[in-house]
């Protein structure tokens, strides 16, 4: 062993040994419409057709009106706790629209828009939040029968999405599973295990992180030191990218690409959609306790509906009379759903025993009969 | 026909179903090339391919959650958790999702999955490898919990579990994996779930047990027989949903009952059985119900294992007590 001769050699010895770059990554960010609704790039297909743009706007508008109605129904005691999706309409509608009917959605509780765009009926969503399991039965003719019911625990549906996608790949079906989580979910082990599995088997699975900046009261900055949430994909060998989640055209475009890649056998993807939860966490929450008015005001200026409307108006594709007519039509649809929801007959008290197992085991007959009010034996 | 062990009976059942039903697939840690740490899946990846006999990353939440996704898509996943000490992350998936998927979608989706795991002490395994925590699972509505106690019942009950349209936790007594052999024809005949098996008939006392303790209970019955005491031995087999009628019928005949299980006593499945006997069969009892169980301690490491586990002597002594009382 060589003895250091003087102070300068000592300093040299403590320096980091030479190293090379072993791997490098980048995370892309996509935006088409800027905050004022000006196109920064040519619109991707199918948006050369003006009707594709206006129908997208109408669907976002319908979601906003539906969501406001749900909050109102909660305030008047018709619904239980409800998580508003105010401000997240662009991401939700773009996801729902780009998925194919036979794809499978596994989503959190705030993806009302995605569910509606997939064909879940408005009255079923009211039913669910009123406390009725039939809201997850998706019994309508257009219903996405294989979609999972909403996931209330955080990120537990992510490993389930891996199973769904594994089955699709094993059976050589050109279908894709879409797993939607929030920013808070990316801190959970379930999320990492799922990303890892999707990467190992190169599954047809698109994870969408709807980063609305808040996990109830905890801001994105307190959730992780990572610069982006999308980069969490990279550790699992999956491409991760960001998109402006309030730009419906950008989300539509990025989703379309990820779905097409996954469908063609190109493997999974992670998309982080940057949006903002303009509402409280749920109707049982008061966000003024933990976030300031100025931040909320800044976020309001990025409203996804306003942005698309500005574009449409500037391009003379939308007018005030059209806006009024669209709102009237949407409100009529929502009111019809409210009426259907309120007219739904209550479940039998014994309904909790139905569908517990394919066939109720004999050992549970006594409890069911007790609920039914019959004497047993 | 040659005789096979319990673990070989498990392999035989898995192979039978992989062959009979292309929706069946296996997943777990080291189950592929390695054939599982207990060799329960030995040779199956070679026979049925790596796509259907899947080595997963080392992630129990993934294994359980993935099984739910597969099952909801129409597959029949049979997942292996390497040791019961590693099963607890899966409880989140079982309780919050697998057990309630059918119920909360009003039958639109279902979850025909099996989660297999070794259970119990007695093989001098390292820490976290010896617990019997079946009660945790039996407490979850919508879940079946099955524990076989012989090669033939392992074969027949596993076939039934795989074919069952709802989620099943299938717990295989580690201690019995290679302890005894019997002839198990590869008939494809399933045994019924949700029923107890009367292993030995007797008129004096009912011994209720399951899993590895079945062996000690049968030995106790032999010892009692030498004294002229005829013990009836019931293997519960399916802990949830519980077939209490078979037990009540037996206790109605004998008037005495000893419940023997390896798990800790407090809030164990034995407590539920005793409560149900008290509820519907109290007046048929001639003496108090006795329980012989593991202690309410941490399962000791290998050196104290024999002290922890119920022995034939303890079970027979409890039976004698019920006879002395009346």
Judge contact between A271 and A284, C-beta under 8 A: no
Q: Shortest CB distance from A149 goes to which of B65, B104, B142?
A: B104
Residue B325 has pLDDT above 90, yes or no: no
Which CATH homologous superfamily contains domain B3-183? Thiamin diphosphate (ThDP)-binding fold, Pyr/PP domains (3.40.50.970)
Q: Which A residues in the span 67-106 are in contact with B, Cβ-Cβ below 8 Å?
A: 104, 106
Q: How many A×B Cβ pairs under 8 Å?
A: 143
pLDDT of res. A174: 98
- What strands, in cross-sheet order, belong to the sheet with B114-119? B53-55, B24-28, B76-80, B114-119, B168-173, B144-146, B238-240
Phi and psi at residue B43, to the nearest 5°:
80, -5
Q: For tokens 């579990």, what's the residue?
A: B161
Touching check for B236 and chain A: CB below 8 Å? Answer: no
B-facing residues of A in 149-168 (CB < 8 A) are 149, 152-153, 156-168
- What's residue A8's pLDDT? 54
Complex prediction ipTM: 0.97
What per-residue confidence (pLDDT) applies to A9? 55
Q: B244 vs A161: CB contact, 8 Å cut-off? A: no
Q: Give pLDDT, residue A7.
A: 53
B118 pLDDT higher than 80:
yes
- Nearest chain A residue to B143 by CA distance is A357
Q: Is B272 on the interface with A (CB under 8 A)?
A: no
Angstrom distance (rounded) from CA A120 to CA A144: 7
CB crowding B153-171: b at 16 or more within 10 Å, else e = bbbbbbbbbbbbebbbbbb
CATH number of B197-325: 3.40.50.920
B269 interface with A at CB cutoff 8 Å: no
Q: Do A358 and B166 touch (CB under 8 A)?
A: yes
Nearest CA in chain A to B242: A363
pLDDT value of residue A310: 97
| Among A53, A49, A79, A50, CA closest to A67 | A79
- What angle in degrees, to the nearest 10, is found between the helix axes of A50-75 and A320-342? 50
CA dist B32 to B11, B13, B41, B45, Å? 13, 17, 7, 5
Query: Cβ(A361)–Cβ(A353) under 8 Å?
Result: no
CATH superfamily of A26-32+45-283+292-346: Thiamin diphosphate (ThDP)-binding fold, Pyr/PP domains (3.40.50.970)
Please check whether residue B260 is in contact with residue B218, taking contact to mean a CB–CB distance below 8 angstroms. no
Q: What is the pLDDT of residues A5-16, one digit of tens each?
A: 555 555 666 678
Closest-CA distance of chain A to residue B281, Å: 14
Beta-ladder partners of B197? B235
| Catalytic one of A51, A290, A298, A365 | A290
**Nearest residue on chain A to B245, alpha-carbon basis:** A363
| Beta-strand pair B231-235/B76-80 | unpaired
From first to last of its 377 residues, what are the pLDDT tens digits of chain A? Answer: 455 555 555 566 667 888 999 999 999 999 999 999 999 999 999 999 999 999 999 999 999 999 999 999 999 999 999 999 999 999 999 999 999 999 999 999 999 999 999 999 999 999 999 999 999 999 988 899 999 999 999 999 999 999 999 999 999 999 999 999 999 999 999 999 999 999 999 999 999 999 999 999 999 999 999 999 999 999 999 999 999 999 999 999 999 999 999 999 999 999 999 999 999 999 999 999 999 999 999 999 999 999 999 999 999 999 999 999 999 999 999 999 999 999 999 999 999 999 999 999 999 999 999 999 864 44
Tell me if B256 sits within 8 A of B286, measured CB to CB. Answer: yes
Burial pattern A308-345, b for ≥16 Cβ within 10 A else e, equals: bbbbbeeeeebeeeebeebeeebbeebeebbeebeeee
Contact residues, chain B, for A167 at CB < 8 Å? 69-70, 73-75
Q: Which chain A residues are within 8 Å of B23, Cβ to Cβ?
A: none
Contact A355 B103 (CB under 8 A): yes
Alpha-carbon gap, residue A372 to A358, rounded angstroms:
20
Angle, in degrees to the nearest 10, between helices B88-96 and B60-72: 30
Q: How many CB atoms lie within 10 A of CB B219?
A: 15
Q: Where in chain B is the domain with CATH 3.40.50.970?
A: 3-183
pTM of the predicted structure, to 2 decimals: 0.96
Q: What share of chain B is helix, strand, coil (3-state, %, to 5)?
A: 40, 20, 40
**A residues 275-334 closer than 8 Å to B (CB):** none
Residues 67-86 of B with CB under 8 A from A: 67-75, 77
The rounded percent of chain B whose pLDDT value lies above 70 is 100
Domain ranges of chain A: 26-32+45-283+292-346, 348-377
Per residue, the 3-state secondary structure of A168-219, as one string, reads: HHHCCCCCCEEEEEECHHHHCHHHHHHHHHHHHCCCCEEEEEEECCEECCEE
> For the CA atoms of A7, A12, A14, A16, what is the dihedral angle to 10 degrees?
170
- Any A CB within 8 A of B28 CB: no
Helices (H) and strands (E) in chain A, counts: 13, 8
Name the β-bridge partners of A271: A208, A241
The residues of B assigned a catalytic role are 129
Query: How far A22 CA sits from the closest chain B CA (Å)?
Result: 24
Q: Would you call B65 and A157 a contact, using CB atoms and an 8 Å cutoff?
A: yes
Contacts of B66 in chain A (CB under 8 A): 159-160, 162-163, 166, 197
Q: CB A197 to CB B59 under 8 A?
A: yes
For CATH 3.40.50.920, the residue range(s) in chain B are: 197-325
Name the residue of chain A whose CA is nearest to B239's CA. A363
Give residue for tokens 């036979």. A102
Residue B1 in this model has a pLDDT that exceeds 80: no
- Indicate yes or no: CB of B72 within 8 angstroms of CB of A197: no
Is A281 assigned a catalytic role? yes
Name the nearest CA neighbour of B90 among A180, A168, A160: A160
Predicted confidence band at B2 (pLDDT cuts at 50, 70, 90)? Answer: confident
Q: Which of B56, B71, B73 to mutate to test the interface with A (most CBs of A within 10 A)?
A: B73
Phi, psi of A229 (to 5 degrees): -85, -25
**Whole-number Cα distances in Å, B5 to B9, B10, B11, B282:** 6, 9, 10, 39
Give the whole-angstrom CA distance, residue B94 versus residue B61.
Answer: 10
Of A187, A183, A195, nearest to A158 by C-alpha is A195
Token digits of residue A27:
């995370």
A277 is catalytic: yes
Spatial CA neighbour of A136 closest among B103, B165, B65, B93: B103
Residues 6 or more apart in contact with residue A352 via CB below 8 angstroms: A371, B103
Strand, coil or helix: what is B258? strand
Q: Quick check: B109 contacting A, CB < 8 Å? A: yes
**Cβ within 8 Å, pair B194-A361:** yes
């Amino acid at each position: 062993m060589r003895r250091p001769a003087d102070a300068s050699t000592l300093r040299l010895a403590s320096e980091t040994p030479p190293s090379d770059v072993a791997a490098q990554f980048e995370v892309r960010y996509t935006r088409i419409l800027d905050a004022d609704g000006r196109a920064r790039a040519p619109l991707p297909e199918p948006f050369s057709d003006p009707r594709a743009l206006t129908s997208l706007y109408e669907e976002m508008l319908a979601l906003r009106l539906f969501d406001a109605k749900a909050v109102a129904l909660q305030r008047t005691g018709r619904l239980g706790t409800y998580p508003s999706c105010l401000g997240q309409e662009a991401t939700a509608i773009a996801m729902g629209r780009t998925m194919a009917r036979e794809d499978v959605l596994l989503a959190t509780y705030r993806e009302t828009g995605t569910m509606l765009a997939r064909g879940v009926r408005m009255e079923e969503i009211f039913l669910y939040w009123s406390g009725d399991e039939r809201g997850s039965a998706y019994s309508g003719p257009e219903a996405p029968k294989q979609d999972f019911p909403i996931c209330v625990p955080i990120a537990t549906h992510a490993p389930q999405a891996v199973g769904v996608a594994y089955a699709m790949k094993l059976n050589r079906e050109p279908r894709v599973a879409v797993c939607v989580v929030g920013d808070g979910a990316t801190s959970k082990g379930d999320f990492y295990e799922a990303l890892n599995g999707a990467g190992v088997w190169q599954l047809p699975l698109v994870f969408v992180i709807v980063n609305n900046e808040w996990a109830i009261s905890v801001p994105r900055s307190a959730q992780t030191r990572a610069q982006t949430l999308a980069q969490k994909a990279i550790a699992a060998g999956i491409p991760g990218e960001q998109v402006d989640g309030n730009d419906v055209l950008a989300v539509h475009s990025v989703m379309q690409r990820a779905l097409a890649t996954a469908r063609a056998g190109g493997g999974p993807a992670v998309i982080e959609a940057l949006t903002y939860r303009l509402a409280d966490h749920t109707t049982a929450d008061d966000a003024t306790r933990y976030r300031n008015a100025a931040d909320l005001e800044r976020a309001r200026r990025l409203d996804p509906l306003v942005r698309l409307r500005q574009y449409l108006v500037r391009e003379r594709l939308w007018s005030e009379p059209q806006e009024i007519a669209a709102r009237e039509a949407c409100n009529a649809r929502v009111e019809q759903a409210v009426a259907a929801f309120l007219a739904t007959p209550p479940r039998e008290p014994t309904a909790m025993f139905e569908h517990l197992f394919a066939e109720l085991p004999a050992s549970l007959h006594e409890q069911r009969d007790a609920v039914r009010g019959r004497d047993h034996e | 026909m040659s005789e096979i062990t319990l673990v070989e009976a498990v392999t035989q059942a898995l192979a039978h179903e992989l062959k009979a039903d292309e929706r069946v697939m296996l997943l777990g840690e080291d189950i592929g090339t390695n054939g599982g740490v207990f060799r329960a899946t030995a040779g199956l990846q070679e026979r049925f391919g790596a796509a259907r006999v899947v080595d997963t990353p080392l992630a129990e939440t993934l294994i359980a959650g993935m099984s739910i996704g597969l099952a909801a898509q129409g597959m029949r996943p049979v997942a292996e958790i390497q040791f019961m000490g590693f099963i607890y992350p899966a409880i989140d998936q079982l309780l919050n999702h697998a057990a309630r998927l059918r119920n909360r979608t009003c039958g639109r989706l279902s979850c025909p999955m099996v989660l297999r795991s070794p259970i119990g002490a007695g093989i001098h395994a390292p820490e976290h490898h010896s617990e019997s925590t079946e009660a945790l699972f039996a407490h979850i509505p919508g879940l079946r919990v099955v524990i076989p106690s012989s090669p033939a019942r392992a074969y027949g009950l596993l076939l039934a579990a795989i074919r069952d349209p709802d989620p099943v936790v299938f717990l295989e007594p580690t201690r019995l994996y290679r302890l005894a052999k019997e002839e198990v024809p590869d008939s494809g005949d399933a045994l019924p779930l949700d029923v107890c098996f009367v292993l030995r008939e007797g008129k004096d006392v009912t011994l209720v047990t399951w899993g590895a303790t079945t062996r000690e209970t049968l030995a106790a019955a032999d010892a009692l027989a030498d004294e002229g005491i005829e013990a009836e031995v019931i293997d519960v087999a399916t802990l949830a949903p519980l077939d209490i009628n078979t037990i009540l019928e037996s206790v109605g005949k004998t008037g005495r009952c000893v419940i023997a299980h390896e798990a800790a006593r407090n809030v164990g499945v034995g407590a539920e059985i005793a409560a149900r006997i008290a509820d519907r069969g109290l007046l048929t009892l001639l003496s108090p119900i006795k329980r012989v169980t593991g202690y309410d301690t941490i399962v000791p490491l290998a050196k104290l294992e024999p002290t922890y586990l119920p022995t034939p002597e303890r079970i027979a002594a409890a039976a004698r007590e019920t006879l002395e009382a009346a």
